[in-house]
């Protein structure tokens, strides 16, 4: 494709227009000129939401051609070629499967399902249709995270010994009614919301987790889901580490941080400073790599070095990746998280819950 | 204006499609749905550049309706209501004045002119036309900078004693041919490019500068412009500090950092971590404010706290501000930098050059 | 006691003159004039070591009146009133008990014993003699740690939800022959050496640990002890967290860091920056408290604020505390770690080993 | 000298027992066993102070054999071989010269004199006696600073372009009566107290300063000396930078920080984290070197890496250096600051005052 010839269009149907829906829309709209030329030009066809007025307003704001109040209309819409599920967790399975069975490529927010079983079902039924599928683990698309993966693959860290990942937020004591606090809607609490990200990057950067030993806590009286979990993880490659998430860490706004120690060096990251990667080559001490050089991942699309990008642009990279896979009929993995990855993360989540309950180190199951 | 009724459109004509042009386009396109409802909906009418193929490609990429190879066509275009000058410094004066005199609102990249005299001329002639004018000092629109201004205005710092501002980059030893190294095109080097930002924020946050004592350096043999300058600044309100810029600071990618000490507290900032503001209330020690709370400047348009934004979104805020001033016929200042501010910064730049030459503390002149 | 009247002397007998012995000597010598007036003036009576020439040289260097090659001579020496055991772990039990039974106060390096059983025996037999006893958990005497304790006691953090403590070093791949790698001499590896510190501060700052779920790893082929461990800890007060230590973390020299999240705020610390305490009051964001103000713990003895102290001066505080307890016949706890604290930490260590072996969450036992 | 044979003694007479006196005593006492074997064993012979009771108490506390109330007694004391002047600035000249003329080696706190003229006189008259002389610029003896010097000498930074040094404190608004605020006693304010350190390290690390352009400020009504100064410095080797000091920077306790940019890399330092050196090799980005490795400057005397030292131990290194020069009759420079260095710094201070007054760039004079 030449530089001045953008590719053909792809019709997008979006379920949900809150936080995640807004972030996805910004991704579609921005990639169309920033990640130039886009492999497919996103055409914002239709957006679905339950409140008719609100979804119509969202359509006007975000530039969708039409809005609907039933996701089944998205599934039935022949102009929707990509179904983007940014709805709450209890709306992941049925619409996503239906869309795939209607022949649409599917993107689903994380966690894929509310349980490993539900996640497995989504994966299997969607995989059977032959469409492209992706779980929206957007942190794989942070430039610093991709660079870390490249360094690990290149052997810069040697043999991996430790992974310590924690995702800390502070808003758990809110008394607002949030679907993320309801078991039926969310499945789990900090675990599925934040912990799933930790687990996904652990798998992406280090490898499969073999077993976990965990405890969970619900600090808010009457809350149906976990507010925090702590786990020891043993990786199949011999590494060992910790996985943690909490919504009860005052001062930590969105602190997804991890550290990896290998035989030849260490890496560190904190989402609150997402343009930075910490790197100790051997025992030299940590240096701050401001991941914005011309040859850094994704940076060809952006600015001169030092002109940092924001959290929202992880979605530009993520959605571009999916569109490229659709356009060229290439694999979504290993850099994109497939529904198999979504399922794999869910098995770790389930094992964490089992371990918290049983008091035993639990093997990760795989159907 | 109701939430679901976007305002009328405004036709934008853009001169330049390189770094700054790309950043401005991203701003226009993003504000249209992110800073919702926009005061005016930017309509990308026409883009001008010298290379016909390249500017046509830019128009296709960025969504302009047409492209032209002579900026005079933008000026003559009745559908262009806002003339955005993102061209090199030697193309600031003539096109900007012509556009204003043709009745178009004007936005001009910094530095406004290559000298104080040229800047004064631009300001005076544009001011006489009655259009809105703005110098693109985008760092006023970093949320952390706006928060700093609000804190200073609220008296949180008490009496200001010191401002230390420095803008450090590292690419000065490049042998590439860059217009920023040519006196005719750029006027000055690090001074006008980086120092102008330092000076503008010094004025925005602390107040008018009364005099400067400065030295400049050109490290690259044969280079026509300064590679670095260092200055002591005396402010009219009694504060004293330093202004610095260099393109010869290895490891500093885009390090515009400043610190302000007042009688009641201190503030600090580093553009490489643009979502953070450092604040010492009294002598308590510095705390990191991650400027992303719901009640922080500009944040109503963005994400839950801790989900940081990038450098490019300073332009969303800046352009929104200008459109709001046009829509409501309100003043561009004090938060937006007018052409008078562009001229005032240029007088400080000129005084720095005079001082470097004369070896004397030089008063800032004002025509 | 008046300011110009130093107290009576106390004769010190020291076992060991390597790393820890040197640190203790520096503590005794420095406290005598810095923590003025000292509750007792340490008189360096005798030092014991196996190599006659080396221990004589140590005596000359450090100012001991005499040196001996058998610790039994220290125990038999009537001028030794305080027996300081800075020897390897397998020399903790017998000499310490013998010294106490000879009526000498005893200080013993951590871990107290190589197992909980051995630690219990030391504690019980020494406690029965009525002498003062202290386990050398010197990090309780870091000013920032003491300040943290004071803040927690004052209720500044509210209800404690999380403790995350990790002690990371990088020298584990050395091929040097070190007693710390031998099971007979050391008991355990990173666990007893580094993990014991983590456990002690967890108990000191948060409270008793109820159970642990853990994994250990030995990365070096043929090594007899653990190189790393990872544990989830459930505290009796409902808090939950992680305990970790590793000698295989390149770039981490002596990185004992912890974070505590409470309902009203969070604290953080890193031994590599031991003069700093991180504090988020509520969700304000973390501020750096440079713990060196006149009213900060231990600071009456030191310098104007901002003139930081080093690691070695934790021993000045620790030894001063012990001498004060001896002089005034007051309790060593709660700020000093008694042998009961040494035993309690050993029970957590043993539970971690049991859990790593059993794959079960293990309750902390207490005889 | 063999490892177990300490050198002969040297009798020390100390003028002053406040902050600096205490720091020097700690240095003498600690180096005697820590920097083993010491080149000379300091014998604390006599201490002088005006208040008889207080100086007697200081003697008892610090271990001096006797105390006197007139510094002339120190000069007359045949057992005093090294005269250590830790008194206020107006007691630097006469006692120091008298001591040297009595054949004693002399160490004098900074600034050497209250003016360049006084400093010159001290230097010349002491130099004429042939004794060893040293100005107590202790920050040359911070391990990180010495490492920086070694890296610069080795060419790691290439050609030096910039030095930015600032020393910020926050206590200037105190209403306490402090000799440092009196012109007669102190000579100048922040300039001589803090700025002299900045100037000395600028000279030590970068080279001679050729000229300065400066402003000073006195914020406190009625205060006789400067509270702050700001200067642009041009170095003889072509580098350019800033020198700053203030006692009016809330949140900055003892923040002596500097950055050096060279053609091949950059270095940075902050005294509040004195064990760390920041280093960007080329444009790689800054890494934190925790200056505590076995092969780092001065570290042979201390602890395993990562076990950091405090501010007070700069004096151990400084005094050891002086004793070694006395013992072996070697030069105090270039690592120790001689009285010539004390004088050279004073000339820069004077030029800063001249420039502040004249409004001109002032050449540094040298008699």
* Contacts of C88 by beta carbon, 8 Å cutoff, 6+ apart: C16, C179, C185, C186
Q: What does each C-alpha distance from D29 to C21, C59, D5, D317 come to in angstroms? A: 18, 16, 17, 12
> With an 8 Å Cβ cutoff, is A292 touching chain B?
yes
Which token pair is B56?
A: 């046509």
pLDDT at A255: 98
Chain C positions in Cβ-Cβ contact with residue A359 (cut-off 8 Å): 211, 213, 360-361
With a cut of 80, say whether residue D116 has pLDDT above it.
Answer: yes
The distance of C125 to chain A (nearest Cα, Å) reads: 35
Chain D positions in Cβ-Cβ contact with residue B161 (cut-off 8 Å): 217, 219, 228, 246, 248-249
Q: What does each C-alpha distance from D243 to A314, B74, B182, C298 come to in angstroms? A: 42, 49, 31, 34
Q: Do D251 and B284 touch (CB under 8 A)?
A: yes
Model confidence pLDDT, tens digit, residues C176-192? 888 889 999 888 999 99
Nearest to A289 among D285, D289, D290 (CB): D285
Model confidence pLDDT, tens digit, residues B288-315? 999 999 999 999 999 999 999 999 999 9
How far, in Å, CA of D228 to CA of A208, rounded?
59
How far, in Å, CA of A349 to CA of A199, rounded?
8
How far, in Å, CA of C343 to CA of B32, rounded?
66
The distance of A274 to chain B (nearest Cα, Å) reads: 8
> With an 8 Å Cβ cutoff, is C166 touching chain A?
yes
With beta carbons less than 8 A apart as the criterion, state whether D64 and C8 touch: no
Choose among D177, D164, D172, D176: nearest CA to D250: D172
Residue C55: band (very low, low, confident or very high) from pLDDT cuts 50, 70, 90: very high
Model confidence pLDDT, tens digit, residues D156-211? 999 999 999 999 999 999 988 888 899 998 889 999 999 999 999 999 999 999 99
Query: Where does D34-109 show beta strands of DSSP type E?
Result: 41-48, 66-68, 82-85, 105-108
Nearest chain D alpha carbon to B159: D219
Query: Which three-class secondary structure state does DSSP give residue D227?
Result: coil
Q: Which D residues in the span 320-359 are in contact with B, Cβ-Cβ below 8 Å?
A: 355, 359
Of A1-10, A254-263, A319-328, which range is least confident? Answer: A1-10
Model confidence pLDDT, tens digit, residues C285-318? 999 999 999 999 999 999 999 999 999 999 999 9
Mutation pick from A1, A2, A4, A314 vs chain B, by most beta carbons of B within 10 Å, is A4
Chain B positions in Cβ-Cβ contact with residue D261 (cut-off 8 Å): 168, 246, 248-250, 252
> With an 8 Å Cβ cutoff, is D286 touching chain A?
yes
How far, in Å, CA of C32 to CA of A141, rounded?
58
With beta carbons less than 8 A apart as the criterion, state whether B267 and B259 touch: yes
How far, in Å, CA of D240 to CA of B272, rounded?
24
Mutation pick from A23, A52, A253 vs chain B, by most beta carbons of B within 10 Å, is A253
Nearest to C253 among D37, D255, D306 (CB): D306
Model confidence pLDDT, tens digit, residues C154-175? 999 999 999 999 999 999 999 8
Query: Where does D153-221 show beta strands of DSSP type E?
Result: 160-168, 209-217
Neighbours of B11 (CB within 10 A): 19
Neighbours of C365 (CB within 10 A): 12
Q: Do D287 and A289 touch (CB under 8 A)?
A: no
Mutation pick from A14, A142, A166, A275 vs chain B, by most beta carbons of B within 10 Å, is A275
Residue B2: band (very low, low, confident or very high) from pLDDT cuts 50, 70, 90: very low
Query: Where does chain D show beta strands of DSSP type E?
Result: 9-15, 41-48, 66-68, 82-85, 105-108, 133-135, 160-168, 209-217, 228-235, 240-246, 255-262, 265-270, 276-281, 287-290, 362-363
Average pLDDT, chain B: 96
With a cut of 80, say whether residue D272 has pLDDT above it.
Answer: yes
Query: Which three-class secondary structure state does DSSP give residue B215?
Result: strand
Q: Do B230 and D232 touch (CB under 8 A)?
A: yes
pLDDT at C6: 61
How far, in Å, CA of C202 to CA of C240, rounded?
11
ipTM: 0.95
- Report, as an integer, the average pLDDT of B355-360: 98
Q: What is the largest CA-CA distance in chain B?
A: 60
- Report, as an integer, the average pLDDT of A280-306: 97
Residue B5: band (very low, low, confident or very high) from pLDDT cuts 50, 70, 90: low
Q: Do A361 and C215 touch (CB under 8 A)?
A: yes
With a cut of 90, say whether residue A59 has pLDDT above it.
Answer: yes
Chain C positions in Cβ-Cβ contact with residue A211 (cut-off 8 Å): 359
With a cut of 70, say whether residue A2 has pLDDT above it.
Answer: no
Model confidence pLDDT, tens digit, residues D210-261? 999 999 999 999 999 999 999 999 999 999 999 999 999 999 999 999 999 9
With beta carbons less than 8 A apart as the criterion, state whether B272 and B249 touch: no
Nearest chain D alpha carbon to B161: D248
With a cut of 50, say whether residue C3 has pLDDT above it.
Answer: no
pTM reported for the whole predicted model: 0.97
- Strand pairing of B209-217 and B228-235? antiparallel
Average pLDDT, chain A: 96
With beta carbons less than 8 A apart as the criterion, state whether A104 and A98 touch: no
pLDDT at B177: 81
Q: Which A residues in the span 175-194 are in contact with C, Cβ-Cβ below 8 Å?
A: none
Model confidence pLDDT, tens digit, residues A254-290? 999 999 999 999 999 999 999 999 999 999 999 999 9
Choose among A302, A305, A298: nearest CA to A321: A298
Chain A positions in Cβ-Cβ contact with residue B250 (cut-off 8 Å): none
- Give C177's Cβ-side CA count (13 Å radius): 1
pLDDT at D2: 42
Which token pair is D129?
A: 């006696």
With a cut of 80, say whether residue B362 has pLDDT above it.
Answer: yes
Neighbours of D208 (CB within 10 A): 13
Chain D positions in Cβ-Cβ contact with residue A290 (cut-off 8 Å): 285
């Amino acid at each position: 494709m030449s530089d001045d010839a953008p590719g053909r269009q792809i019709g997008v149907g979006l379920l949900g227009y809150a936080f995640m829906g807004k972030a996805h829309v910004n991704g579609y709209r921005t990639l169309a000129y920033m990640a130039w030329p886009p492999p497919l030009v996103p055409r914002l066809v239709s957006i679905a939401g339950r409140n008719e007025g609100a979804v119509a307003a969202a359509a006007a704001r975000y530039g969708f051609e039409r809005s609907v109040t039933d996701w089944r209309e998205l599934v039935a819409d022949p102009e929707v070629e990509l179904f983007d599920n940014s709805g709450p967790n209890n709306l992941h399975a049925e619409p996503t499967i239906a869309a795939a069975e209607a022949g649409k490529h599917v993107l689903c927010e994380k966690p894929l399902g509310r349980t490993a079983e539900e996640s497995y079902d989504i994966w299997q039924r969607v995989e059977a249709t032959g469409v492209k599928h992706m779980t929206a683990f957007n942190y794989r698309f942070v430039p610093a995270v991709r660079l870390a993966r490249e360094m690990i693959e290149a052997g810069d860290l040697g043999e991996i010994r430790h992974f310590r990942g924690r995702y800390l937020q502070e808003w758990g004591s809110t008394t607002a009614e949030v679907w993320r606090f309801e078991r039926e809607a969310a499945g789990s609490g900090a675990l599925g919301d934040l912990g799933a990200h930790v687990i996904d990057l652990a798998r992406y950067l280090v490898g499969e987790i073999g077993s976990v030993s965990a405890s969970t806590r619900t600090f808010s009286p009457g809350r149906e889901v976990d507010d925090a979990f702590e786990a020891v993880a043993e990786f199949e490659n011999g590494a060992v580490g910790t996985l943690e998430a909490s919504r009860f860490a005052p001062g930590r706004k969105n602190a997804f941080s991890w550290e990896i120690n290998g035989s030849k060096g260490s890496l560190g990251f904190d989402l609150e400073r997402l343009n930075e990667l910490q790197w100790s080559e051997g025992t030299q001490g940590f240096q701050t790599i401001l991941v914005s050089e011309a040859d850094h991942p994704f940076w060809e699309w952006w600015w001169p070095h030092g002109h940092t990008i924001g959290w929202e642009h992880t979605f530009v990279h993520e959605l571009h990746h999916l569109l490229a896979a659709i356009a060229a009929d290439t694999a979504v993995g290993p850099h994109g998280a497939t529904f198999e990855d979504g399922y794999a993360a869910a098995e770790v989540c389930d094992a964490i819950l089992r371990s918290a309950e049983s008091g035993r180190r639990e093997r990760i199951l795989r159907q």
